[in-house]
Amino acid sequence: SDKQNARIEHDKALLRVMTALLKDDTELFKQFSDNEGFRRWLSDAIFALTYTEAKV
pLDDT in tens, 16-46: 999 988 888 999 999 999 999 999 999 999 9
Residues 6 and 51 sit within 8 Å (Cβ to Cβ): yes
Which pLDDT value is given to residue 52?
83
Which pLDDT value is given to residue 22?
84
b/e per residue, 15-46, with b = 16+ CB within 10 A? eeebeeeeeeeeeebeebeeeeeebeebbeee
Which pLDDT value is given to residue 54?
59
* Structure-model confidence comparison of residues 23 and 50, the more confident one: 50
The CA radius of gyration of the chain, in Å to the nearest whole number, is 13
